A and B are shown apart, each in its own frame.
Chain A
């Protein structure tokens, strides 16, 4: 399985590494070689062991068996700091900067250069920071506080941190999951320039277009084991998907049936929230899938949250089945048969410390109660029923949801809301950060629901998903609706034009 690298010996590699957590074998005989000057993509389903692999390289986990090698020499990382000293830097999907420190201070936190008087050499810190950003070809104000930086900019700060540390290996764990197209492009430019400079990059992504556009080699993992490693040019998407799931995946997007579209069930009129979104009006009919497209930060999630009542709005009205829906009350929205599968499943969708069963039934405690009393048995039975329907993989229903993989956590959120039998379903980034198999399942589920007459409103930043699923596409740009496109009019170009606020006209290609 040793594959010849593009240049030189591997700077960092794993040799036959195994790692188990209790009874769960996260990695079994895993091998991986990272060479200087290459972008190496790592793909696999959720739960395939990618995160464990990353954490082993980063010195967070120690392998039970096998070895970690730096420049061909066996090393023992006992703590993340060892990996950092060896030149390994990890950029996480959502960096954790200190919000009240400046960009520069964040970059040098814990290793501030000193003047000869022993005080912190601020001038030098600023200079090095500026140099790092210049070498990356991006502009970030080194003086501004980290609070309020976009996720994309936060990642750049982390990359700059790695550069000032002279990191030779950069591991990016799903860096683009929360980025807009433009931001992702910028990140790719940075990645390529780092490659030119001789760094080794390990890039983890669920988006195949990115993997194929960016990487030199692709390693596929499944069930904690190495499956294959090939030059990207020798691969096709289908091959990779087959290797990832170990079987053929039916189409990612279900056959689009001519939907039977019914009466208007939801009317949103002139919805405005100062500084967030303005004058948003649209209607949704039964049996229809409406996608809300746009760049990250365009205000799509905020609109959906306001309609559902989690957030307030200043002006406008929402009507469900012709009746006005009171603002700011999720309970009222639920009583009106609405459901919202939120964007951030760990923070908004689930109580991570709570059990699978309790999370899956959190929306139905009243209906599951008998004479006001709610038993664990009633919860478990209901959760079991939905777990089977959604093909949830779990150990025990009383385990906390934090023990589940990302895709299965998302299924719990879906169970929690689908079990309320909504007539109007909002799903916000329903497939973010979940693997391709589960993704196809979620898509099929949404199509089935629409076929049963549920009105589905889907916020999605993935254009293929928008185009593959939606009967109608609403596009937002900077808090306003800029286009409403039928399926026939919706193309990558027309959606992107509207999403970027370009005045090329509706449907232009």
Chain B
């Protein structure tokens, strides 16, 4: 293959590894969005609003973490929002039937792990494409949530748990403790993904799973555990969601998986696998949250918000492709793949 002349990176040298060309745009966009929102929207920078904003993106941020790892390996998990809902419904049923809340939470997490593991088994053992599998379980888990609750809502959760879920970090107004917890979790995920051998191998799996297998990576086990992890995290997001709003409904978080995937792709993760970073994804989550929040404060309707989300999702998939195409065109006018590359 002919050598690509490396396109000049906006942040040269050492910082290139810190902030890759793929995530730089979204981090930049986030900074711009924050500045604009604080300047033009009066109430944006108030403690009350930041708290609201952070709580509203908490579940998405949580689920985006394992989703990042899964998409990097070239798979996808579209069942996360349904897992969240089924967890919420289960918690409601357990609580109503008198199970102590602590026990119910643990049971729910175990169920979340099982739901994720089922995805993992279908993908790895049966060898099915995760897109199809998780569209299936997305419907299945949502359906089970309806079986459990029907049209009812469970809203009798203990008040101290409900207010506890929304509580700020002691002494820091406008900063929910949950946001801090997610930040710590994001750091752990980032260290795992970018600074451990197992994390590195996720990129290998996404780029070339055959070569990964030849290097001794257990591709199937890795994917199985990622789906299981995704299930656990989605169910913990479900628990938080339920307590935060103090209510369980079967239709809760409907369509939320779209926002999770949008944030992940916006954050520079390649839909084809092999590329991505936690920093980018967390910036993507916040960027989407800030845009929605600012537009809401402007009084834009929720229909428009949906359109904006969709447009951003498409833009985030198109942009890196366009950038790559422009770069390769600049590097060599008539590029082409070769079967055996022995050009210098």
The chain A residues found within 8 Å of chain B, CB to CB, are 21-26, 46-52, 55, 60-62, 78-80, 92-94, 96, 173-174, 177, 224, 310, 329-331, 333-334, 340, 342, 347-354, 358, 362-363, 365-366, 368-369, 372-376, 395, 399, 402-403, 405-407, 416, 433, 435
Q: A349-B211, A374-B197, A374-B200 known; A62 and B334 CB under 8 Å?
A: yes
Within B26-78, which residues are at the interface with A (CB < 8 Å)?
A: none
Task: Tell me the bound Cα distance from A402 to B331 in angstroms.
Answer: 15
Q: Is the CB of A26 within 8 A of B343?
A: yes
Find chain B residues with CB under 8 A from A47 CB. Answer: 342-344
Is there contact, CB below 8 Å, between A405 and B341? yes
Task: Given the known inter-chain contacts A358-B200, A373-B191, A403-B4, please indicate yes or no for A331 contacting B218, CB distance below 8 A.
Answer: yes
Asked if B196 is at the interface (CB within 8 A of a chain A CB), the reply is yes
A contact residues around B224 at 8 Å (CB)? none
For the complex of A and B, list the 8 residue pairs with the smallest distance between their C-beta atoms, beginning with the closest: A365-B197, A22-B5, A46-B342, A47-B344, A92-B339, A403-B3, A330-B216, A406-B342
B-chain residues with CB within 8 Å of residue A174 when the two chains form the complex = 340
B219 to chain A, nearest CB (A): 10
Among candidates A23, A94, A369, A407, residue contacting B196 with C-beta atoms closer than 8 Å: A369
Within 8 A of A (CB), among B201-241: 201, 203-204, 207-208, 210-216, 218
With A62-B334, A373-B191 as contacts: A331 and B216 at CB distance below 8 Å: yes
Produce 1/0 per residue, B300-344, CB < 8 A to A: 000000000000000000000000000000011110101111111
Smallest CB gap from B199: residue in A: A374
Q: Is B274 an interface residue (CB 8 A)?
A: yes
Minimal beta-carbon separation of A26 from chain B (angstroms): 5
Q: How big is chain B's contact interface, by range? A: 35 or more
Indicate if B1 sits at the interface (CB-CB under 8 A): yes
How long is the Cα–Cα vector from A51 to B341 in the complex, in angstroms?
7
B180 within 8 A of A: no
Number of A-B contacts (CB under 8 A): 146
Contact of B97 with A by CB under 8 A: no
Q: Using Cβ atoms and an 8 Å threshold, which residues of chain B touch A49?
A: 343-344
Within 8 A of A (CB), among B1-36: 1-6, 17
Q: Chain B, 75-111, contact with A by CB distance < 8 Å: what is the 0/1 string?
A: 0000000000000000000000000000000000000
B1 vs chain A, min Cβ distance (A): 5
Chain A residues whose CB sits within 8 angstroms of the CB of B4 once the complex forms: 21-22, 403
Q: Which residue of B lies closest to A54 (CB)?
A: B338
Q: Is B344's CB under 8 angstroms from A24's CB?
A: yes
Q: Which residues of B contact A333 (CB under 8 A)?
A: 216
Q: Does B210 contact A402, Cβ atoms closer than 8 Å?
A: no
Q: Is the CB of B212 within 8 A of A351?
A: yes
When the two chains form their complex, are residues A405 and B340 in contact, meaning their CB atoms are under 8 A apart? no
Contact A362 B215 (CB under 8 A): yes
Q: Is the interface of B mostly helix, strand, loop or mixed?
A: loop
- A478 CA / B203 CA spacing, docked (Å): 37
With contacts A21-B331, A21-B332, A374-B196 taken as known, whether A352 is within 8 angstroms of B343 at the C-beta atoms is no
Of B3, B215, B218, B342, the contact of A363 (CB 8 Å cutoff): B215
Main SS class of interface, A: loop
CA distance A283 to B251 in the complex (A): 64
Q: In the assembled complex, which residues on chain A have CB atoms less than 8 Å from the CB atom of B210?
A: 347-348
Q: Tell me if B340 and A366 are in contact (CB < 8 A).
A: no
Residues of A within 8 A of B126 (CB): none
Q: Which residue of B lies closest to A95 (CB)?
A: B339
- Contact B204–A373 (Cβ < 8 Å): no
Find out whether the CB atom of A50 lies under 8 angstroms from the CB atom of B216.
no
Bound complex: CA of A416 vs CA of B216, how far in Å? 12
A186 to chain B, nearest CB (A): 21
B225 → chain A closest CB, angstroms: 15
Asked whether any CB of chain A lies closer than 8 Å to the CB of B195, the reply is yes
Which residues in B have their C-beta under 8 angstroms from that of A368?
Answer: 197
How far is the CB of B294 from the nearest CB of chain A, in Å? 37
Q: B211 and A405: CB pair below 8 A?
A: no
Bound state CA distance, A158 and B343, in angstroms? 23
| Pairwise interchain contact A353-B339, C-beta atoms closer than 8 A | no
Q: CB-defined interface of B184-200 with A at 8 Å, one 1/0 digit per residue?
A: 00000001000111111
Given A21-B5, A365-B201, are A402 and B191 also a contact pair (CB < 8 Å)? Answer: no
Of B211, B274, B338, B342, most buried by chain A (CB within 10 Å of CB) is B342
- Cα distance A310–B334 in the bound complex, in angstroms: 38
In angstroms, Cα B336 to Cα A79, docked, is 11
Contact status of A310 and B342, CB under 8 A, knowing A22-B3, A52-B2, A62-B333: no
Question: Closest A-chain residue to B344, C-beta based?
Answer: A47
Sampled A-B contacts (30; CB under 8 Å): A21-B3, A21-B4, A22-B3, A22-B6, A47-B344, A55-B343, A60-B336, A61-B332, A78-B334, A92-B338, A92-B340, A93-B339, A330-B213, A330-B216, A349-B211, A349-B214, A350-B211, A351-B203, A351-B208, A352-B208, A353-B207, A353-B275, A358-B200, A368-B197, A373-B195, A405-B343, A406-B341, A407-B342, A416-B215, A433-B342
Shortest beta-carbon distance from B238 to chain A in Å: 30
Contact between A22 and B340 (Cβ–Cβ < 8 Å)? no
Chain A contacts for B214, CB-based, 8 A: 310, 330, 340, 342, 348-349
- Provide the bound-state CA to CA distance between A247 and B333, in Å: 35
When each residue 158-179 of chain B gets 1 if its CB lies under 8 Å from chain A and 0 otherwise, what string results?
0000000000000000000000
Extra contacts, 8 of them, besides A47-B342, A340-B214, A363-B216 (Cβ < 8 A), are A47-B343, A51-B338, A224-B344, A329-B218, A358-B200, A362-B200, A406-B342, A435-B342
Closest A residue by C-beta to B2: A21
Give bound CA distance, A49 to B343, whole Å. 5
CB of A50 within 8 A of CB of B207, answer no
A405 near B195 (CB under 8 angstroms)?
no
B228 to chain A, nearest CB (A): 20
Q: Which of B1, B204, B215 contacts A402 (CB 8 A)?
A: B1
Q: How far is the CA of A331 from the CA of B197 in the complex (A)?
A: 14
- Residues of A within 8 Å of B208, CB to CB, are 347, 350-353
A380 to chain B, nearest CB (A): 11
- Chain A residues, Cβ within 8 Å of B218: 329, 331
Residues of chain B with a CB closer than 8 A to A330's CB:
213-216
Determine whether the beta carbon of B211 is less than 8 Å from that of A375: no
Complex Cα spacing A92 to B191, Å: 44
CB contacts (< 8 Å) of B344 on chain A: these are 24-26, 47-49, 52, 224, 405
Residues of B within 8 A of A362 (CB): 200-201, 204, 215
With known contacts A79-B334, A349-B214, A350-B211, A369–B197 Cβ distance under 8 A: yes
Chain A residues with CB under 8 Å of B204's CB are 351, 354, 362
